[in-house]
Amino acid sequence: MTQDSVSRRATEDREAPGSPAGPLPRRSTEDPRRRIPRTDSLLAHPEIVRASATMSARVVRDLVRAAQDRARGGQIAPEQVLDEVLAALGDGAASSLRPVLNATGVIVHTNLGRAPLSGTAREAVQDAAGYTDVEFDLATGARSRRGAGARAALRAACPEAEDALVVTNGAAALLLATTALAGAGEVVLSRGEMIEIGAGFRLPDLITSTGARLHEVGTTNRTHLADYENALGPDTGCVLRIHTSNYRVIGFTSEVPLAELAGPCRGAGVPLVADVGSGLLAPEPLLPSEPDAATALRDGADVVLASGDKLLGGPQAGILLGRAEVIARLARHPLARAVRADKLTLAALEATLTGPTPPVLAALRTDAGRLRERTAALAERTGGRLIAHDGRVGGGGGAEVPLPGWAIALDPELAGPLRIGSPAVVATVREDACLLDLRCVPEDQDDVLIAAVEGARAQGATAEPPR
């Protein structure tokens, strides 16, 4: 084909029916992706350097690359990459956990981290974050027993205990006690105490997970002393009593008091383990039916198990209190190493025990008159209504025990904006109202709560109406 024929073919193509007249448009050679800022330029940008002062280089680089990828995919313009990175850095924090104002009236709220630490405990955690003498005797320069201060504080708070041990949580305490005492033997347990707690977690499954065998006695609603006595034998590793903290069986029922069960166990040489759950070390007048460690030990339990982050008001921890020889046996078991508490837990627990009244007990013992006065004042400032509202202990403690109080009733549409605001406020939605219970909100946060309500209203006013 000659050059003239090539030119004619091009002309015919341009003038074919349906083709635009005139010369073919030239394809643009400028790819918008070329305008995406380089990684090194972004990392060196002064605003990014300032905004990323509290983040690692890896995290900042990942945010930069994420913004660049959004630009490459056409989700944002190349000129928006810098703003995208700065926005991500501004929203970033050292942890993804967000502080929350608990306005539900549930004191030990599992979904909100259970017990809030006291100011003293928070300071102790900060001090323990660096190097510390957790297992070191500064006077002699020799290794010492781990967590001596926390154990001493537990013995002082519960003199009925000869010794104490601290592990990661309540489930770990139960696992260690039954494993070390029963081994592959039997754990005697009433059928009325075969408990399932949150998220489908079943305590019998935990007990049998390491090879121990459950010897069930009695029935769901009635267990007698003879049931336990008939179960005791050469294969019995321990007798276990578990407080049914998150439910009640009422009506035609029967259970054996610890004081009656202690005698047969002692006669058979079998340890008696009492899991009181909630973390009370001594009786609490406001919760007369809630078991406590001191009473259980006086009644003859060899070991008492409790949680540190419930009514004790401290960090998540499993606490074991009891006879010195039994605690020593548990501490020597290999599993004790796997479930031992870290230095931050030990520091917070000791500070909780030796410091002022923790927030959990302060909320439990809130003066009803003062709570009403405070709630009424905030209801007026927020444009809400004052209504009666019962709080709860939560966390499996004080089941079915109402804590009379008050709440601010707001429009139910505010619940969502309050949860995603800053700070996040978690309320209760009930009977077409968003209820703010101040029992667990510190008084010095009242102005913060009011600002959160105003922000939630403003967000609702500017939200796009549904189509």
Q: What is the pLDDT of residues 256-293, one digit of tens each?
A: 999 999 999 999 999 999 999 889 999 999 999 999 99
List per-residue pLDDT tens for the chain, 467 residues long. 444 444 444 444 444 444 444 454 444 457 888 899 999 999 999 989 988 888 888 989 999 999 999 999 999 999 999 999 988 887 666 677 889 999 999 999 999 999 999 999 999 999 999 999 999 999 999 999 999 999 999 999 999 999 999 999 999 999 999 999 999 999 999 999 998 877 778 999 999 998 999 999 999 999 999 999 999 999 999 999 999 877 778 899 899 999 999 999 999 999 999 999 889 999 999 999 999 999 999 999 999 999 999 999 999 999 999 999 999 999 999 999 999 999 999 999 999 999 999 999 999 999 999 999 999 999 999 999 999 999 999 988 887 889 999 999 999 999 999 999 989 999 999 879 999 999 999 999 999 999 999 999 998 766 544 44
Please, how many CA atoms are within 13 Å of residue 417, restricted to the half-sphere of its CB? Answer: 19
Please, how many CA atoms are within 13 Å of residue 375, restricted to the half-sphere of its CB? Answer: 27
pLDDT of residue 19: 43
Q: How far is CA 336 from the centre of its chain?
A: 23
Contacts of 422 (CB under 8 A, 6+ apart): 452, 455
CA torsion through residues 73, 77, 78, 80, sign? negative
CA distances to 12, 213, 284, 395 from 277, rounded to whole Å, are 90, 22, 14, 9
DSSP assignment of 158-216: -TT-SEEEEESSHHHHHHHHHHHHHTTSEEEEEGGG--B-GGG-BHHHHHHTTT-EEEE
Alpha helical stretches, state H, 219-257: 225-231
Place of tokens 């007048």: 285
pLDDT of residue 92: 66
Alpha helical stretches, state H, 249-342: 258-268, 293-298, 324-332, 334-338
CB atoms inside a 10 Å sphere around CB 407: 29
CA dihedral 361, 364, 369, 374 (to 10 degrees): 80
Q: Tokens at residue 188, please?
A: 């005697």
- Widest CA span of the chain, in angstroms? 117
CA dihedral 56, 59, 60, 65 (to 10 degrees): 150
CA dihedral 17, 21, 27, 32 (to 10 degrees): -100
Domain range summary for the chain, segments of one domain joined by +? 32-96, 100-108+362-462, 118-355
Q: How far is CA 132 from the centre of its chain?
A: 25
CA distances to 105, 176, 193, 305, 361 from 199, rounded to whole Å, are 22, 21, 18, 21, 26
* Mean confidence (pLDDT) of the chain: 90
Per-residue pLDDT tens for 441-451?
A: 999 999 999 99
CA-to-CA distance for 275 and 195, rounded, in angstroms? 12
CA-to-CA distance for 16 and 8, rounded, in angstroms? 12
Specify the fold of 100-108+362-462: Aspartate Aminotransferase, domain 1 (3.90.1150)
Contacts of 289 (CB under 8 A, 6+ apart): 401
> Which of 3.40.640.10, 3.40.50.300, 3.40.50.10140, 3.40.50.720 would CATH assign to domain 118-355?
3.40.640.10
Please, how many CA atoms are within 13 Å of residue 253, restricted to the half-sphere of its CB? Answer: 13
CA-to-CA distance for 303 and 181, rounded, in angstroms? 11
CA-to-CA distance for 420 and 429, rounded, in angstroms? 15
CA-to-CA distance for 107 and 362, rounded, in angstroms? 10
pLDDT of residue 91: 66
**Helix, strand, or coil here: 338?**
helix
Its pTM stands at 0.84
Which of 93, 72, 90 is closest to 81 using CA atoms? Answer: 72
Residues recorded for the chain: 467
CB 358 within 8 A of CB 342: no
